[in-house]
Structure 1
Amino acid sequence: MFDSRHIRTFHEVVRTGSYSAAARSLGYTQPAITQQMKALERAVGTPLFLRAGRRMRLTEAGEALSRHAGAILGSMEAARQQMAALTRLRAGRVRVCAFPSAGATLVPEALARLAADHPGVRVELQESEPPESLDRVVRGECDITLAFTYPGLREQVPDELVEIPLLEDQLTVLLPTGHPMARRRAVRLAELADERWIAGCLRCRTNFLHECAELGFAPDIVFTTDDNLVVQSLVAEGLGIAMMPGLVLSFLVHRKVTGRALDPAARRQVSAYVLREHLRIPATALVLRELEAVAANRAGC
């Protein structure tokens, strides 16, 4: 294994033509240059220089190494500059996986903050619901995942992952604007036992069924879809009502739909998950900080 210092010194000896000139250029003593070249020759296993009177010339091995030395040093400098860019957050890539309502709310705000101060850090976006999104981090397919859990349905998080809590997301009921309960500020789930329902993703649907069972009724689920926009359209047409996360309200655009909080309040926990060792990667840690800041702002609203 070559010592990079020896390669740099060798390159300077070749460039300047002598040990003494290289010593002056590098700020070393001539004996130090001599010792480094002897060490390099031991590593190579053959002489690199021959003396012809007061002049030095390269051996065949020296000529071969000379042809590569510049490229080696150039690659090392390029690597040094890239590492510096990564650690100083002038560059970097972070793969973020999020469930749809987080991808439409928390993630864009965090990326806008990131782009303003660190435009060289690039983020790749993926979309997936938990628990699949958690498995993606473990498999190395993404660096950060945003996922949610419900209080009564806590699932085992893989041991490799660290959870960073972001916010509690209050659940709401989506109603057609003409629905009698749309005039209220909050609604009770038990009062909606006779309604037709539109259910969402598997984890949300499981929690919904659990909440209804706790109140002693089984909901009449007429449609199931993971698409929040489809849910809105179905509700708007009076085909059913839906229990939805509060994050959805920030991009609720259908004029025939309104959202009402549940009484008593029901919430889910939204968190970021990351492999423990990735917390030490500057770009990943930065994206996590931006997500935490956005979540804190929302929680304070």
Structure 2
Amino acid sequence: MFDSRYVRTFHEVVRTGSYSAAARALGYTQPAITQQMKALERDVGIPLFVRVGRGIRLTEAGETLSRHASDILGSLSAAQEQMNALARLHAGRVRVCSFPSANSTLLPEALARLAAAHPGIRIDLLENEPPESLRRLAQGECDISLAFTYPGLHEHVPDDLVETPLLEDQLTVLLPSGHRLARRRVVQLTDLEGERWIAGCPRCRANLLHECEEAGFVPDIAFTTDDNMAVQSLVAEGLGVAMVPALVLAFMHRAKVAGRPLQPASRRKVSAYVLREHLRIPATALVLQELKAVAASKMGC
């Protein structure tokens, strides 16, 4: 393995034609140049120069290294420029894996703010519900994972992930607009005992079962889908009711659907997760910062 400092000095010796000229150009002493060239020759295991009178001449090995030296130094310079750009947040790539309702609410605003302030940062957006999104993060398939947890469920989060809480998302019930409970401001969960239900992703379905069990009944689950628009359509057609987070209300598109807070009040916690070492990457830290700012504004609504 070559020391890049020695390659740079070697390139200057070749360019100027002597150790003394290279020393003047680089601000070194001539003995320092001599020592560096001897060290480089030890690294490559073969002489690079031979003495010719008072001057020097490249050996065959020296000629070979000389042909590559410019490319090596050019690559190092380009790498340094890219590292500087990343450090100054002029460039970077962050892979974010999130769940559908966050992709429709938190992410667009956060990424728009990021694009306006730092257009060189590229965001790759992936979609998975937890715990799959957390698994992808732990296996290095993404850099940030947005996920949610429910207070009544014992959900495992890998120990090497760092959690940044974003917001608490109150659970609501979606009802057909003509439903007998749609005129109420708040709906008691026990009043929905005889309803047919539309369940969501496995984690949301598990929470629905838990909440209803706590209320003293087993829900009649007629449909299961993690597509929020499909849930709204099924509710609009009177095929069932659904327990959804308040984030979903931000993109309600069905006039025949009413969303009402549930009692007793229950909330899921939405958090961003990263691998601990990724907290030191400037672009990743900046995405987290924007997510926290947008989440704070949603909590205030």
Q: Which runs of 4+ in 1 moved over 6 A?
A: none
Q: Which amino acid aligns with 2:62?
A: G
**Structure 2 vs 1, CA of residues 222 and 23 (structure 1 numbering), >3 Å: closer, same or farther?**
same
Q: Which amino acid aligns with 2:189?
A: L
The 2-side partners of 1:221 and 1:65 are apart by: 72
Match of 1:120 in 2: 120
The 1-side partners of 2:8 and 2:27 are apart by: 13
Q: CA deviation at 1:39?
A: 2.0
Q: CA deviation at 1:180?
A: 2.8
Match of 1:160 in 2: 160
1:54 matched to 2:54: yes
Match of 1:6 in 2: 6
Report the TM-score, using the length of structure 2 for normalisation. 0.96
Q: What secondary structure is seen at the aligned counterpart in 1 of 2:141?
A: coil
1:171 matched to 2:171: yes
1:104 matched to 2:100: no
Correspondences of 1:166-205 after superposition (within 5 Å): 166-205=166-205
The 2-side partners of 1:245 and 1:178 are apart by: 21
The 2-side partners of 1:105 and 1:91 are apart by: 25
Q: Which amino acid aligns with 2:270?
A: V
Q: Which amino acid aligns with 1:271?
A: S
The 2-side partners of 1:59 and 1:292 are apart by: 61
Structure 1 stretch displaced more, 40-49 or 231-240: 40-49
Q: Which amino acid aligns with 2:2?
A: F
The 2-side partners of 1:48 and 1:202 are apart by: 67
Q: What secondary structure is seen at the aligned counterpart in 1 of 2:76?
A: helix
Q: CA deviation at 1:263?
A: 2.4
Q: Which amino acid aligns with 1:98?
A: S
Q: Which amino acid aligns with 1:138?
A: A
Q: Which amino acid aligns with 1:194?
A: G
The 2-side partners of 1:179 and 1:42 are apart by: 85
Match of 1:45 in 2: 45
The 2-side partners of 1:42 and 1:211 are apart by: 72
Q: CA deviation at 1:194?
A: 1.7
User: How much is the aligned-residue C-alpha RMSD, in angstroms?
Assistant: 1.4
Report the TM-score, using the length of structure 1 for normalisation. 0.96
The 1-side partners of 2:39 and 2:196 are apart by: 82
Could you give the per-residue CA deviations for residues 84-128 of structure 1, whole angstroms, max 9, x where no partner exists?
122222111111111110111111111111111111111111111
Match of 1:259 in 2: 259
Q: Any gaps of 5 or more consecutive residues in structure 1?
A: none
Q: CA deviation at 1:59?
A: 1.3
Match of 1:16 in 2: 16
Match of 1:240 in 2: 240
Correspondences of 1:205-284 after superposition (within 5 Å): 205-284=205-284
Q: CA deviation at 1:195?
A: 1.8
Q: CA deviation at 1:147?
A: 0.9
The 2-side partners of 1:268 and 1:162 are apart by: 18
The 1-side partners of 2:160 and 2:113 are apart by: 29
Q: CA deviation at 1:201?
A: 1.2
The 1-side partners of 2:222 and 2:52 are apart by: 94
The 1-side partners of 2:21 and 2:262 are apart by: 81
The 1-side partners of 2:225 and 2:76 are apart by: 53
Could you give the per-residue CA deviations for residues 184-216 of structure 1, whole angstroms, max 9, x where no partner exists?
221111112122221111111111111111111
The 1-side partners of 2:201 and 2:31 are apart by: 73
The count of aligned residue pairs is 301
Q: Which amino acid aligns with 2:149?
A: T
Q: What secondary structure is seen at the aligned counterpart in 2 of 1:243?
A: strand
The 1-side partners of 2:32 and 2:139 are apart by: 50
Q: Any gaps of 5 or more consecutive residues in structure 2?
A: none
Match of 1:95 in 2: 95
Correspondences of 1:59-98 after superposition (within 5 Å): 59-98=59-98
- Give the fraction of aligned pairs with identical amino acids, expressed as a percent: 75
The 1-side partners of 2:44 and 2:196 are apart by: 80
Q: CA deviation at 1:162?
A: 1.5
